[in-house]
Amino acid sequence: MIYTTQMDAAKKGFTTKEMEIVAKKENMDLELLKKLMSQGKIVIPANKNHKSLDPEGVGEGLKTKINVNLGISKDCYDIDEEMKKVQLALDMKAEAIMDLSSFGKTKEFRQRLVTCSSAMIGTVPIYDAVGFYDKELKDITAKEFLDVVEKHAKDGVDFVTIHAGINLETANVFKRNKRLMNIVSRGGSLLYAWMELNNKENPFYEYFDELLDICEKYDLTLSLGDACRPGCISDSTDACQIKELMTLGELALRAWARNVQVIIEGPGHMALNEIKANMLLEKKLCHGAPFYVLGPIVTDIAPGYDHITSAIGGALAASCGADFLCYVTPAEHLRLPMLEDVKEGIIAAKIAAHAGDIAKNIPGARGWDNEMAKARQELDWEKTFQLSIDPEKARRYRKESTPEHENSCTMCGKMCAVRNMNKIMQGKDINILREDN
């Protein structure tokens, strides 16, 4: 083979089929795409074993992508139900799906997911380690953690979240700087606990070169996890979050030297006025690597509505440079999301991503809105439905409250501004009280 990974190909000037597909989707010059990939500013997560993948690019100058989290847990162990969520995510054109399964032998679900999914697939291998080895966390060895990563890579997942930045240095910064909610990252808390119980360095940090061997072998993209992401707005932009981010920037450089693609993960809960600065910090400290954010969730008081608090933060983050949004459902902080929760989370994240793309002047982003404006101006209801981010809901709302006159709605009736302006601009009379149209 003349190249090992997508990044290696870009550095050598080769064009892969994945690059051609992404360049066409994004309307980006192929040479510019390769240049940005060679610099680590764009990634195309594409495991060599994921045969059903329809590749997507994530990073500078590209449309903001969204990820859908799902997976089995001990309390909700229903693979068939999770597969329904997978199909919904694919139908709604989510670009990525993360399997966060955290109980039992997860391989069956992961393999079914990779086989059927055209979206890129991510996992968090440490979630799988306890169940895979049937061992308590303390007793799992560094080699066993790495072996689980390789098993996921062999199964064909395109990117893995690895919390390599929560090393002993970062842990000591955390200990010296008290937080209201400590560490809320599930993977981060497991690794912190492992370090404390064994009095050892984070195995993913200590054996980072061995991790890169796996990534290079399968062209597995590293999503460097934010173990110290804030779990409430009180903890945002604090010492351990920034210390970890600095470490992730250093690890990104080491990965790029091995031609391994890297995504950086970020907050978390964060007040609106801190989001822009955090996007700038990541891009500076992590050398322009694509930024993947959970939200950010901009207030802590809305359980049941965190798809909204997340979309507010996600739109601002995307407008300021975030490249990849992890959806948040109304069930966040409360329970495993149901099918309808997944749909609402996807819609909210897609709205946030598109709003960010408009602000970033991504080619074609405003065109969609302009088409919608034209359909509304023409009172073309069918075209309005077709252009809607959720056509089903738009149709249902219209059907549930039918106006007397088709060229209006039940809110304004014949006082509809669009209807009346169309008439006036055409030199016609406006009839509000008369029965005729």
CATH number at residue 36: 3.20.20.540
Residue 292 labelled as part of a binding site: yes
Residue 320 labelled as part of a binding site: no
Residue 209 labelled as part of a binding site: no
Tell how many helices (H) and how many strands (E) occur in the chain. 19, 10
Residue 408 labelled as part of a binding site: no
Tell me how many degrees the CA angle 294-162-122 measures, rounded to the nearest 5: 65
Residue 436, pLDDT > 80, answer no
Would you state the pLDDT for residue 1?
Answer: 61
Taking a C-beta distance cutoff of 8 angstroms, is the pair 326, 69 a contact? yes
At 407, the pLDDT band (50, 70, 90 cuts) reads confident
Query: CB atoms < 10 A from the CB of 38, how many?
Result: 19
Does the residue 431 lie in any domain?
no
Task: For residue 303, give its domain range.
Answer: 6-359
Residue 187 labelled as part of a binding site: yes
42-43 and 58-59 beta bridge pairing: antiparallel
Q: Which of 103-107, 223-227, 316-320 has the lowest mean pLDDT?
A: 103-107
Domain identity same for 341 and 323 = yes
Would you state the pLDDT for residue 130?
Answer: 84
Residue 98 labelled as part of a binding site: yes
Domain identity same for 383 and 261 = no
CA distances from 425 to 169, 171, 420 (A): 69, 67, 9
Domain identity same for 390 and 284 = no
Residue 105, pLDDT > 80, answer no
Residue 412 labelled as part of a binding site: yes
Domain identity same for 316 and 402 = no
Residue 436 labelled as part of a binding site: no
Q: CA–CA separation, 313 vs 152, rounded Å?
A: 31
Domain boundary among the residues 359, 379, 404 is at 359
Q: What is the pLDDT of residues 153-167, one digit of tens each?
A: 999 999 999 999 999
Residue 405 labelled as part of a binding site: no
Q: What is the pLDDT of residues 185-216, one digit of tens each?
A: 999 999 999 999 999 999 999 999 999 999 99
Residue 102, pLDDT > 70, answer yes
Largest CA distance in the chain: 84
Domain identity same for 237 and 383 = no
Would you state the pLDDT for residue 61?
Answer: 98
Would you state the pLDDT for residue 139?
Answer: 97
Q: CA–CA separation, 350 vs 94, rounded Å?
A: 8
Domain boundary among the residues 302, 325, 359 is at 359
Mean pLDDT of the chain: 96
Domain identity same for 215 and 281 = yes
Would you state the pLDDT for residue 171?
Answer: 98
Domain identity same for 286 and 415 = no
Residue 69 labelled as part of a binding site: yes
**Helices 125-133 and 142-155, axial angle in degrees (round to 10):** 110
Domain identity same for 266 and 386 = no
Residue 333 labelled as part of a binding site: yes
Please state the domain count of the chain.
Answer: 2
Give the rounded percent of residues in the chain with a pLDDT score beyond 90: 89
Domain boundary among the residues 332, 359, 386 is at 359
* Strand locations in 73-119 (E): 96-99
Domain identity same for 294 and 237 = yes
Q: CA–CA separation, 404 vs 413, rounded Å?
A: 8
Q: Which of 29-33, 46-50, 134-138 has the lowest mean pLDDT?
A: 134-138
Q: What DSSP letter does each residue of 191-232 carry, written as one string?
A: HHHHHHHHT---HHHHTHHHHHHHHHHHTPEEEE--TT--SS
At 340, the pLDDT band (50, 70, 90 cuts) reads very high
Does the residue 433 lie in any domain?
no
Does the residue 383 lie in any domain?
yes
42-43 and 324-326 beta bridge pairing: unpaired
Residue 165 labelled as part of a binding site: no
- The residues with which 59 forms a beta bridge, in sequence order, are 42
Does the residue 437 lie in any domain?
no
Does the residue 435 lie in any domain?
no
